[in-house]
Amino acid sequence: MQRYAIYFVPSAKTEFFRFGSAVLGYDCYTGGNIGRPATLNAEPELWDRLTAEPRRYGFHATLKAPFNLSPSCREAQLVSALHSFAGLGHAIPALTPAVQMLSGFAAIVPAAASPAIDELAAKCTAIFDAFRAPMTAQERAQRVASGLNQSQIANLDRWGYPYLFADFRFHMTLTSRVDMERRDDVLATLQKALGQACKDRALAIERISLVRQNDANTPFRVIEQATLRAAR
């Protein structure tokens, strides 16, 4: 069954996107595999293993978590809603990327807290929820079994995903969980590679992307993008 999500995906023309997609070895615009940065080539088997799961999602930050489309909705309606939402007028957040470990996996996060990023994600969660099919009892049980707190369970029951609002943290995943003894090495390698690729430059989060996964065995791909109109 197809799943959809609302992501922030950097422009394919940016050094930032080329860096992130190269780490994962996958381009979510073209749907093709790509070569990794030279700094990661010393241990190809390690990076194949660490990126196998995040590769399925492409280089992105989640703004509305993956969902099945409601039977009463069509993809064309979702595309239209994407552009309508983008045109409402928004504070355009800026992102200065930094690589950190989050719960044992490596991800790009903002170097400083950004209320504008959190606000954009909260709006996407609420607006696009109208298109989400209700989760099944099995999906809920699997989520709850992962060890959610009461706030996260409340989010799950209302919005279909636990890590929202106060529990949300903007991140762009680069690896799955890294063994404790390798975390420092992996983190240092990714920080060096990011610095070489992007020179610590800030970039605007000025677009949102609609992505689709055709089935459980295929990765997500960008199918539509909309440029955010700046609030006046």
Answer yes or no: is 91 within a domain.
Answer: yes
Tens-digit pLDDT profile for residues 2-11: 999 999 999 9
Residue 100, burial from CB neighbour count under 10 angstroms (0-12, 13-18, 19+): middle
CA 132/CA 70 separation, integer angstroms: 5
Q: Which residues contact 38 (CB under 8 A, 6 or more apart)?
A: none
Contacts of residue 7, Cβ cutoff 8 Å, sequence gap at least 6: 58, 60, 61, 62, 63, 208, 209, 210, 211, 220, 222
Residue 172: C-alpha distances to residues 36, 83, 176 (Å)? 17, 23, 12
Residue 188 resides in a domain: yes
pTM of the model: 0.96
What would the pLDDT profile of 180-214 be if each residue is shown by its tens digit?
999 999 999 999 999 999 877 889 999 999 999 99
Query: Token digits for 120?
Result: 């954009």
* Residue 195: its H or E element: helix 183-198
- In total, the chain counts a number of residues equal to 232
Residue 97 belongs to a domain: yes
Q: Terminus-to-terminus CA distance in the chain, angstroms? A: 40
Residue 174 located in a structural domain: yes
User: If you average pLDDT over residues 38-66, what whole number do you get?
Assistant: 95
Rounded CA-CA distance 184/84 in Å is 44
CB-based contact 159:135 (threshold 8 Å)? no
Number of domains in the chain: 1
Q: Which two tokens stand for residue 231?
A: 């609030």
Structure tokens at 194: 């990011």
Q: Which CATH number is 209's domain given?
A: 3.90.1140.10
- Residue 232 vs residue 95, higher pLDDT: 95
pLDDT of 188: 97
- Residue 179: per-residue pLDDT: 97
Report the C-alpha gap between 12 and 19 in whole angstroms.
10
Examine residue 160 and state whether it is found in any structural domain, yes or no.
Answer: yes
Mean pLDDT of the chain: 96
Could you tell me if residue 219 is inside a domain? yes
d(CA 112, CA 157): 30
Domain hosting residue 171, numbered range? 3-227
Contact 194, 97 (CB under 8 A): yes
CA-to-CA dists, residue 178 to 44, 53, 106, angstroms: 15, 12, 8
pLDDT on residue 100: 97
Residue 201, pLDDT score: 83
> Residues 120-154: pLDDT tens digits?
999 999 999 999 999 999 999 999 999 999 999 99
pLDDT value of residue 105: 98
Q: Is residue 155 part of a domain?
A: yes
Q: Is residue 232 part of a domain?
A: no
* pLDDT at res. 68: 97
**Rounded distance, CA 212 to CA 78, Å?**
11
3-state secondary structure of 14: coil
